[in-house]
Amino acid sequence: MFHNRRLLNAAVRRPFVASGGGPAFPSLTGLVGRWRANDPGIVGTTTITSVPDSSGNSLTLSNSGGAVALNPTGYNGHPAFQFTATNNGALVRSSFPIGTGNKATVAFVGQMLTGTESYGGAVAYAASGQNDYNGTGSALFFGRNGASNGIDSRADTLWVDNFSNITLATNYRFLLTYDGDDTATGCKVYINNSLTTTTGAPGLNTFLSGGLLAIGGRVTAGAIDYTGWDGLITEVVFCTAVLTTTERNNLDTYFTGTWGS
């Protein structure tokens, strides 16, 4: 399932105890990447140049295309990555080891503002040479639904459109699970730990590993596409497994304890 066999052997990670007495990061099955705006190893403020990976897998993000700033108090008084679509900035990771399975959990804490472009992406992945929204083995995990204020998700032939209208400039905790073996309820979307949408996943093929991961942008033909996000993102968590109910609840407890509700 993993591009790197050593990742498989370390799929369940030990908890991370945040500095300053914050809540511990929970153990999650299949944890591959985790990037947070309160990481002391972030390089750059007005323009972020790199973001360390807190998962232990050394998948550092780099800046592509423009200004992604670190807002020190933007999200409930906590640090946040500040994306502005007109600046054409995104945080990216090439050769991302998404594995060759058909399961994933992707979560992020943040908010969307009015400048998010139609179909602007928050978290997207595309295999080499592919598009995130309809490429084989690729997925737009979270993006704006056209000109509306909804959030949608697209992978192979699976399109989950407008699964929830959201309020602009409002804080949310988003979590999406894909289970390609479940044709009836294979895609589930949780907002603030409440299940908002369930749909089948008959069109979700296995992922193709080693592609491009983008946070705050999209991927077209295997390259970053600056159809961008406008707003704040404080943390992104990526797992190549469907989290259990206990794991999901533990992650949400960590999110609220770290970033507020």
Amino acid symbol at 84: T
The structure tokens listed for 171 are 């804080």
**Residue 74: both structure tokens together:** 């933007």
How far apart, in whole angstroms, are the C-alpha atoms of residue 89 and residue 94?
16
Q: What is the pLDDT of residues 195-238, one digit of tens each?
A: 988 887 766 668 999 999 999 999 999 999 888 899 999 999 99
Query: Which 8-state DSSP code applies to residue 166?
Result: -
Nearest to 177 by CA among 196, 162, 161: 196
The DSSP output letter for 102 is S
Task: Write out the two tokens for 7.
Answer: 């990742």
pLDDT for residue 184? 84
Spans of all domains in the chain: 5-259
156 close to 205: Cβ distance less than 8 angstroms? yes
pTM of the model: 0.90
pLDDT at position 23, please?
92
Q: Give burial (CB, 10 Å; 0-12/13-18/19+) of 128.
A: middle
195 bridge partner residues: 190
Q: Any idea which of 10-14, 17-21, 66-70, 153-157 has the lowest mean pLDDT? A: 10-14
Q: What is the pLDDT of residues 27-79, one digit of tens each?
A: 999 999 999 999 999 999 999 999 999 999 999 999 998 889 999 999 999 99
CATH code for 5-259? Answer: 2.60.120.200
Nearest of 164, 160, 165, 150 to residue 119 by alpha carbon: 150
CA distance 162 to 151: 5
d(CA 90, CA 72): 18
**Under 8 Å between Cβ of 29 and 241:** yes
Q: Tell me the pLDDT tens digit for each residue of 114-157.
A: 888 888 899 999 999 999 988 788 888 998 887 778 788 877 66
User: Is the dihedral angle over the CA atoms 98, 80, 109, 123 positive or is it negative?
Assistant: negative
Neighbouring residues of 146: CB distance < 8 A, sequence distance ≥ 6: 118, 119
On the question of pLDDT at 1 being above 50, the answer is no
And the tokens for 42? 């972030």
Mean pLDDT of the region 166-187: 89
Angle among Cα 70, 46, 148 to the nearest 5 degrees reads: 60
User: Is 246's pLDDT higher than 60?
Assistant: yes
Whether residue 106 contacts residue 100, with contact meaning beta carbons closer than 8 Å, is answered with no
